[in-house]
């Protein structure tokens, strides 16, 4: 990184020189690590202006609607690649050749089963437990089954753990659903692709042969791919922070799942469906659009705009095409709830208010519609998000552990009491 200098000038103090680092693309960063020795911390709630790490995995330019994995635009990966190939890219930094891809896919499919004892673990949860509550528990519990490869300082162990997590997450996700509806768990069928296998385990039964619609399988693969990684978001930063303590990868990913569970992060596509149900009918759309434009009204349109992308979400362009394909395949163009969604989409793309504020439909809007159409219940949406994001979490964790790192220790601006003496109970 080419180094320049910045100066911090504080009245009555000598200037403090701070190095400026330039990445391969994106904004320069000011290295403030020396401030502590000079008696200062930085103050940045939400870390909105702070680069917490150096990474080669993913780059986002929100102003221009750009998302790159290893330098490859997300649109190209979604159009020409698939989820497991993108997983290989995030783990290795390069796309695989034919032989490497075949070996990688074979390795992942060889890890899809979970230990039979985990079925007993599932039975400890109430049938109506939220699937994300189950996922936090069972993913953390995986570390109790794989003592053979938990040395985080061993590159081979880290790779095996990555493969296991990527392979087992769809199996665990499907088990959450089966537990909820009271059907028997389905074993993976490794003659199927990654996404076909997931749908088979979700909706298949032991009474029937696998029968997965290829259009739906492609849509599921794109949902996984488009959620594979999104730079230093809340859950990924959590995985890195947990990993900085030396915690095992299963515990770190469980921490990521817990963070993703929050409605401000992973619940956006679930919120889209809840909004559509609240609107209730196409006849009510004008009223709700007016409410959305009224700053004093608490109602908000969910699935429009994005806190990172100040332009069109590049993932949404791909999801829109996939959404149209799925609805056509299933003959659901006239479904009442989906009709509301299509009308909202039209308004957002044509109404000057939405265009001016760049409130375009985002990836959560379209992925929520797709999963509703496939028959996936809304409480499973975040679990599917976690399944796709697992590779991003484990790739960032591995990148951090593979290089010199420090345990995370954010500072604070203390505004509590100054030192005061303890007063005994009888004198208070």
Query: Cα separation of 40 and 257, whole Å?
Result: 34
Contact 191, 398 (CB under 8 A): no
Which of 69, 163, 364, 396 is catalytic? The answer is 364
Contact 291, 297 (CB under 8 A): yes
Q: What is the DSSP string of 199-222?
A: HHHHH--TTS-----HHHHHHHHH
Helical axes 214-226 vs 363-374, angle rounded to 10°: 150
Contact 31, 18 (CB under 8 A): yes
- Which backbone phi and psi does 286 adopt, to 5 degrees? -60, -40
Query: Cα separation of 323 and 366, whole Å?
Result: 6
The DSSP code for 361 is: B
Which of 229, 306, 313, 396 is catalytic? The answer is 306
Query: Cα separation of 182 and 174, whole Å?
Result: 12
Token pair listed for 119: 């079925």
Annotated active-site residue 306? The verdict is yes
Query: Cα separation of 130 and 233, whole Å?
Result: 23
Token pair listed for 152: 């985080």
Annotated active-site residue 227? The verdict is no
Contact 134, 122 (CB under 8 A): yes
Per-residue exposure over 216-228, b if at least 16 CB sit within 10 Å of its own CB, e if not: bbbbbbbbbbbbb
Contact 225, 103 (CB under 8 A): no
Residue where the block lists tokens 């709630």:
45
Q: What is the DSSP string of 287-329?
A: HHHHHHH-TTS----TTBS-SS-SS--HHHHHHHHHHHHHHHH
Residues 6+ apart with CB under 8 A from 157: 149, 150, 151
Catalytic residues: 306, 364
């Amino acid at each position: 990184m080419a180094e320049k200098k910045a100066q911090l000038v504080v009245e009555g103090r000598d200037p403090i020189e701070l190095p400026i680092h330039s990445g391969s693309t994106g904004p320069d960063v000011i290295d403030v690590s020396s401030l502590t020795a000079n008696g200062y911390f930085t103050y940045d709630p939400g870390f909105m202006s702070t680069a917490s790490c150096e990474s080669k995995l993913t780059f986002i330019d929100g102003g221009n609607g750009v998302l790159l994995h290893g330098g490859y635009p997300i649109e190209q990966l979604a159009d020409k690649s698939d989820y497991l190939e993108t997983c290989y890219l995030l783990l290795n930094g390069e796309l695989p050749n034919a032989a490497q891809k075949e070996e990688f896919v074979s390795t992942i499919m060889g890890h899809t089963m979970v230990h039979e004892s985990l079925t007993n673990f599932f039975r400890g949860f109430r049938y109506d437990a939220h699937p994300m509550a189950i996922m936090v528990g069972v993913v953390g519990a995986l570390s109790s089954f794989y003592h053979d490869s938990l040395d985080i300082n061993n590159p081979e162990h880290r790779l095996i753990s990555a493969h296991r997590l990527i392979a087992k997450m769809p199996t665990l996700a499907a088990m959450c659903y089966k537990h909820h509806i009271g059907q028997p768990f389905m074993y993976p069928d490794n003659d199927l692709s990654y996404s076909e296998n997931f749908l088979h385990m979700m909706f298949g039964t032991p009474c029937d042969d696998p029968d997965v619609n290829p259009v739906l399988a492609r849509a599921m693969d794109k949902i996984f791919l488009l959620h594979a990684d999104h730079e230093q978001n809340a859950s990924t930063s959590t995985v890195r922070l947990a990993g900085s303590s030396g915690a095992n990868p299963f515990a770190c990913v469980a921490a990521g799942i817990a963070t993703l569970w929050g409605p401000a992060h992973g619940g956006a596509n679930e919120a889209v469906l809840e909004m559509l149900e609240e609107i209730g009918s196409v006849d009510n759309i004008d009223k709700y659009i007016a409410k959305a434009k009224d700053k004093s009204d608490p109602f908000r349109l969910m699935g429009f705009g994005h806190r990172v992308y100040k332009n069109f979400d590049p993932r949404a362009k791909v999801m829109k095409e996939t959404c149209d394909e799925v609805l056509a395949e299933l003959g659901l163009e006239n479904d009442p709830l989906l009709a509301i969604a299509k009308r909202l989409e039209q308004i957002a793309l044509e109404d000057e208010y939405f265009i001016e504020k760049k409130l375009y439909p985002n990836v959560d809007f379209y992925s929520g519609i797709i999963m509703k159409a496939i028959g996936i219940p809304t409480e499973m949406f975040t679990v599917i998000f976690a399944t796709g994001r697992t590779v991003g979490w484990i790739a960032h964790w591995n990148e951090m552990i593979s290089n010199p790192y420090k345990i995370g220790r954010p500072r604070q601006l203390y505004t509590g009491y100054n030192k005061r003496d303890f007063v005994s109970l009888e004198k208070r």
